[in-house]
Each structure stands twice: as structure tokens, then as C-alpha cells.
Amino acid sequence: MSMTRIFVSAFRRIRAGLLILPLVSVPLVRAQQTQQPPTPPAQDQTTPDAGGPGGDNGVIAVPKKKEKEEAPPPAPAAPKVKNPEGLSNYSLRVDVPEVTVDVGVLLEKTGQFVPGLKPGNFRVYENGAVQKVVGFKRVEAPITALLLCEFASTNYYFIYDMRNAAWSFAQQLRPQDYVAMMTFDMRTQIVTDFTQDKRQLYEAINSLVIPGFSERNLFDALYEAEDRLSRIEGRKYIILLASGRDTFSRITLDKIMQKVKNTPDVTIFAVSTGGALRAMTEGGPGWNAQLRDLDYLQADNQMKTFAKMTGGMWFSPRFVGEMPEIFGNINAAIRSKYQLVYHPSDAKQDGTYRKLRVELVDDEGQPLRMQDEKHKPLKYEIIARDGYKARQEVE
């Protein structure tokens, strides 16, 4: 057989085998497609009573809620009180009046506050009767003050003193203090409301350049200041910078004194202005000059009375150099005080005015004597309100 025939014969056999393979493989593929995988055993999908999952792939079990919560035990019954026959139910309320007195103790020579005093060193009198002090503490807290300034077209020396005094007061303020400024001539004007920003107060002082009227209505301005401060709770202070003269007020001296006495928790510190001008012109010739001197003496007495009635202080400087020391003393008197509390022996709430007097005594009840390091006696000044108005009982 030739090589050509052998090659043709082999080719035919290979082609015949390729035609048979698809017929044999088709049943195998169909048999694999019809064969289903075995079904896994059913898992327990029931939720357990409580706890974690019921199986490897089970749902999270939620604890069952109780059908009914147990009710708390009933409260014990209130005891029944049977009133006697003819006696109805009633309630009793007793209001015990309480008086708080701020007392400052300063050395007369230096104006320094005297520390270290004890409750037994204070003796308080109300209308001449000794009171028992039930509360005592030393207080030093931020202040709430109103700067009341006379700004009238009278003489430049008065405005000059007022501005320097106001500036010295502003330098003594602390960040927690609240201060407002009000001026007066014929009318009052609120220059700045209560603020803790000292820059606003400095700007307000610098704005006082040209006054409007020459009238000085001191009584009207002080009455309005007392009325405004009475709406603010807590201890308040009025720093009064004025000549003390009143020329055209509708309020009389008696009415303003009554207002000062009856306004609680307001202390007045008064600084008279124009001292240098008065020193240069005092005792001049002529009837008008003598009347002017009498007017200023009366003005000084009024300023001093306003301060003394409220437990404050009065100053009459002649030189600008005195201002820092004056306001240093005012600052010490305002911030460092002893606070006394007592229940008055006269508990009547009749709205009457009660006179107050405070004394310092030693352990034996004798007047307290102070000495310096060289055992020289020191004089001191007690600063407290002249009195207070009792609360009026409302029927």
C-alpha cells in the first residue's frame, strides 16, 4: 500500500471519531443538570424563651415581656385626726422679721479697714434696745454703683473737680462691678446704663464738655436716682459728685430726706466739688459773698447728712491730688464690711422708722480700744445706717 492511501485511511478514522464524541457527551451533561443537590436538614427556627441565638444561623431571641407587671404595695393610710367638737381645721404661719446691717470699721487717720473683729465685738441698738446678733460674716463682693454727677453751667472749677473725681472712681473699679452714670443740671440725663465695661464709663466722662443749664436740681436728681435703684435687688451705692446746692427742685429737703431714709439697701458716698474755688473766694467783702458762703455751708451739711443717714461717707477735697486717696477709702469701705443679722425685739410690722446704733466692745463689754505697734491709741470710725423702715403689714 502506498503512503498516500495510508494517510487518507487514517484521516477518515479520526473524522469518524470526532463525529461520535458529541453524541456521547450530551447525555452526560444532561444527566448532570437533572441531578439535584441533597436538601440540608431543617434547622430549628423557633425562638428560645430568652438568651442568645437559637442556632448557628438562627434569629436573635427577644426576651418575652411579662403579661402583667406586679403592682407596688399600697401606701400606708394617713392617720386620721379627729378635732374636738366645734373646732375647725386651721393653719398657723409665723413671719419672723430679720434685719441685716452692714458695718464698716475704718481707722480715722488712714481710712484702712479694721479686720479680725468677732461677733462679740459688736453691739447693736434698735431704738435704744440691745439686739441679739444671730448672724455674722465679713463680706467683700462686687459692687453695683450709680455715679450721680452735677454737670451745670456754673463755673469751670466745679466741672473740673467732678470729672477728676469720676475718673478716680472709675480707676478703682474691678471687672465684676456694675456701674452707671447719670448727670443733672435742670434735668437729669442717663449718660450710660449699668455696664461692666470701664471703657464705656471713661467715654461717658470724656463726653461731659459743654453743660446746658446753670440750674442745679440736686433734690430732684437724687430722688430719681433712689427711685431707680430701689428696683434693683441687693446692696447699691450712689457716688454723689456735686456742689451740694439746690436751686430749682420741685422736691423739698424734707421729702428728699424722707426718701433717703425709706429707701433700703442704698448707701450714699458724697464728694463736694469746687473746694479750691471756695477756698480762694471765701470771706470776701460784700453781702452777696456772705450769702454765697452760707449757701455752701448749708450745701456741705446736706451732702454730709445724706451720706450719714445711709451709712456712707462725705468728703470735701480742695485739691485734685486728694482724689485717689478719697476713692481708695470709699473703695475699702464699700468692699470690706461686716454683715450683722438680728431678729428685732420689737417684731411689729407697723412701717415705723427704727433708729440704729452700733458700738464696738471688748470681751468684758467695755468700749473697744485699739492700739498700734507702739501701743499708741488709734481712733476708729463705725460706718452703718442711721436706721431703717420696718415692713408694713398688709391686712
Each residue of 154-163: pLDDT tens digit?
888 999 999 9
Q: Tell me what pLDDT residue 73 has.
A: 73
Each residue of 80-96: pLDDT tens digit?
666 666 666 655 555 66
Q: What's the rounded mean pLDDT across residues 190-204?
A: 94
Q: Tell me what pLDDT residue 23 has.
A: 42
The lowest-confidence range among 115-124, 247-256, 330-339 is 330-339
In single-letter form, the type of residue at position 79 comes to P
8-state DSSP, 120: G
d(CA 220, CA 187): 8
Q: What's the rounded mean pLDDT across residues 96-119?
A: 84
Q: What's the rounded mean pLDDT across residues 94-117?
A: 82
Which candidate, 162, 165, 182, places its Cα nearest to that of 223? 182
8-state DSSP, 102: E
Backbone angles phi, psi at 112, to 5 degrees: -80, 145
Q: Tell me what pLDDT residue 5 has.
A: 59
Residue 174: other Cβ atoms inside 10 A:
11
Report yes or no on whether pTM surpasses 0.85: no
33: left (phi over 0), alpha (psi -120 to 50) or beta: alpha
Q: Is there a contact between 47 and 59 (Cβ–Cβ < 8 Å)?
A: yes
The lowest-confidence range among 123-132, 219-228, 342-351, 354-363 is 342-351
Q: Tell me what pLDDT residue 375 has.
A: 86
Q: Tell me what pLDDT residue 243 has.
A: 94
* Residue with the larger pLDDT of the pair 129 and 64: 129
Q: Is there a contact between 247 and 150 (Cβ–Cβ < 8 Å)?
A: no
Each residue of 23-76: pLDDT tens digit?
444 444 444 444 454 555 555 555 444 444 444 444 545 455 555 556 667 767
Give 4's pLDDT tier (boundaries 50, 70, 90): low
Q: Which three cell numbers stand for residue 40?
A: 440540608
Place of cell 455715679: 147
For the chain, what is the mean pLDDT? 81
pLDDT at 297 over 60: yes
Q: What's the rounded mean pLDDT across residues 146-170?
A: 93
pLDDT at 12 over 70: no
Each residue of 277-289: pLDDT tens digit?
888 888 778 788 8
The lowest-confidence range among 47-61, 128-142, 154-168, 351-365 is 47-61
Q: Tell me what pLDDT residue 30 has.
A: 44
- Please state the domain extents for the chain: 96-140+340-395, 141-335
What residue ranges in 78-235 does DSSP mark as E strands?
A: 99-107, 122-126, 129-131, 133-139, 144-150, 178-184, 188-195
Q: Tell me what pLDDT residue 168 has.
A: 94
d(CA 343, CA 97): 6
Q: What's the rounded mean pLDDT across residues 288-305?
A: 91
Q: Tell me what pLDDT residue 26 has.
A: 42
Cβ contacts of 210 within 8 Å, gap of 6 or more:
none
Q: Tell me what pLDDT residue 6 has.
A: 54
Q: Which CATH number fits domain 141-335: 3.40.50.720, 3.40.50.410, 1.10.3720.10, 3.30.70.100?
A: 3.40.50.410
Q: Tell me what pLDDT residue 350 has.
A: 85
d(CA 3, CA 347): 150
Q: What's the rounded mean pLDDT across residues 183-200?
A: 94
Q: Tell me what pLDDT residue 177 has.
A: 93
Which candidate, 312, 314, 238, places its Cα nearest to that of 272? 314
Q: Tell me what pLDDT residue 179 has.
A: 96
Q: Tell me what pLDDT residue 91 has.
A: 58
Backbone angles phi, psi at 378, to 5 degrees: -115, 135
Q: Tell me what pLDDT residue 34 has.
A: 44
